[in-house]
Structure 1
Amino acid sequence: MIAGTGILRFSQAQAKRFLLMKQGLLGKHRFSGQAGVMECVRQLSCIQFDPLDICGRNDSLLLHSRVDGYRPAMLDALLYTERSLFDYWDKNLSICVTEDWPCFEATRNQFRERGVRSQDQIAKVADQVLDLIDTKGPLCAQDLPCDTRVDWWWSPTSLSRAVLETLYFQGTLMIHHKQGTRKYYELTSRLLPPHLLQKTEPFATHAERLGWQLRRRIGAVGLLWRRSSPAFLGMVEFKKLVREKIFAELMEAGELVEVRVEGIEEPLYMLATDLPLVDTLDDDPGIVRTEFLAPLDSLLWDRALVERLFGFDYTWEVYAPQAKRKFGYYVLPVLHGEELIGRVEPVRNRKTGLLEIRGCWFEPAVVDVQEKRAAIARTAMRLALMNGCDRITLPW
């Protein structure tokens, strides 16, 4: 702490250790089993969702790196049996804590008020779709008699999908369950308890809501700066002047702490509730873990910050043309201890029960490569088991 200022000062090594401790990625696993999945999501506030499933979806890859003994069925149970979690729009498509349902009322209102593409066509069939679900129970797009193609967010799609997604974003429907990538929707009134449905949004102003969102995003990463950041995706009307104002208000309220990190001119900010972690920064983590990080892992939300602290430049090349890829299609960063040491490209084959590590690229400064390869092989085997595979192949 800088005397008389309330400002913390970290070396880069301390800043990295703080982030990894906050993320549950340092030392012995903090989270375990299905209860650990819930605890982990609650700490992160949300997990970003992406439907690509090459070696596990983004949500499962993130949880696998943090929760001892994780299996995808644990997350599915929390989403679609216990309903302690739900799918919704937060940092883009995300998995959120159900208790936070009232806090997203403004988001639902935005979808109700601003309309969507092909709004007129959707409005003509919306009541019919709701009547069908009311009568038959959960339905997917393929169950509906709406084959017309309509203009949609990224490309034309079926009217059935467009109407289901519209009603979902507006809050009338929720995802009841999934079969692969196929989503089945049910009336929200049948899935959420009355006390949540009846509870009003807890924010009196948009600024209050932005403050809530900012605390969540800083808490999900651990440290963030005031500059524009991909970590703020999904925060509406959060441009520079508003952002500066919300940061200042949270600082004045004592909810944020300014952190100065050696070698970084801009101040960073952490939650005041995370101050107890600072007292443990010099503790020996005990074991060195090796984890494969999800491409949309919260630790990686601000890749410019990751590069400044870890010296690791990560680009997710999944949408890049093959000829322009430097590494591979679905490549994951490798965390070993307190360093990002390289990348791997795991690909699952369910038919053969094989997880293939198609490539492994170490950072130039990495030493003791054979030791690191052995650690990567052990992590690859754990990932194989999560994917229902019992064998791995390695590129060396």
Structure 2
Amino acid sequence: MKTFAYIGCLGFIAVITTEFGIIGILPQVAEYYKISIDKAGYLLSAFALVIALTGPFMTLLTSGIDRKKIMTASLFMFLITGIVSSFSPPFWLLMLVRILPAFLQPVYIATALSVAVAQADENKKNELMSIVFNGVTIAMVTTVPFATWISGLYSWEYSFMVQTAVSLIALIIIQLMLPSIPVKEKKSYGSQINILKKPVFIFSTLTNFFMITAWFSTYSYFADYLSKAKGMDTSMISYMLFLFGIIGIVANWTAGKMLNKNVAGTTAFFLSGTILIPILFYISDGNLWATILVIGIWGFLYSPSFLNASTYMISSAPGALEFANSLATSFGNLGVTLGTTIGGWIIVTKGAEYTPWIGLVFGLLAFLMMILRSIFEKRNQQLAPC
């Protein structure tokens, strides 16, 4: 049902606002706590690392629980995080409350996606998934830049107040509009874990991992990169986040349509941005309008990355939708962790202007994994009995 997809999308906005809303305020957080930018980046990378390490296990453990209860509990944790963070607690406590909801983030995403496509025709599933994933791009165009803009006007704590408000709205809507959805038939753990033995799924997973690592080596430091490498102030950066998100909504809708026709081709098309964007940023140099144009292209090619990664992985494991989704979320966030860590290290040791080139290296690795998957798929088809 499209209604369920839109409800899932709303919750996704809250989840993404909490996870990535920190990106626009990392320089202010670093200044407030008197720490380096790469240390402040732990607020993003630690969140992502918890998701990467616990996501599949949490999804398996909760696979028999009523879907509405799971989605409600997840968003309640995000609400608590926003409230505590807005009081500018000691850094260790800020880190702790950032980590706690990460345990339930992949559970929410996998559940929202499975609820959205549960009663859909096969040829409509990718489109419904794109509606849920639009929560990412809608957050990028509304709540994330708004939180950055507010923090520029007042202080970084106001960014967390925005996150709190979004989580509260999503929680109320889910509580009022989503019916109870008990699990009728719980799949055995073994039947779901079995996909880990398939080489095609393994290469799909590595494609996801390298793709997200490539994008987040720069995107995690969006504000810092545009400030140091392109000379933009906080207000201008918030406008760039807005532009990034507006174009991202169009990109996600386009990707959803394209995925229905060709999953691998669509994934490769958007992945090409990891190679194209560093080159374009280098060519744009200090030209403001050229830089804005590149940011627009970046937003279009980056925004469907999680949708592409999940769909690409699920296409190799159609019988284990939720578990495959949780693995997509986990390895994607492992990519966020690695990309953020390497990007922060590059900024500290070399300079912010070098971070996009890290994306190019990991983008090439992702393409290599796609080629290997294609080779194994063709080999399996040749070995299959007629």
Sort the TM-score into its range (normalised by shorter chain): under 0.3
Structure with the larger helix share: 2
When Rg is computed on C-alpha atoms for both structures, the one with the higher figure is: 1
Tell me: higher relative CO, structure 1 or 2? Use CA pairs within 8 A at least 6 residues apart: 2
TM score, norm. by length of structure 1: 0.25
Structure with the larger strand share: 1
TM score, norm. by length of structure 2: 0.25
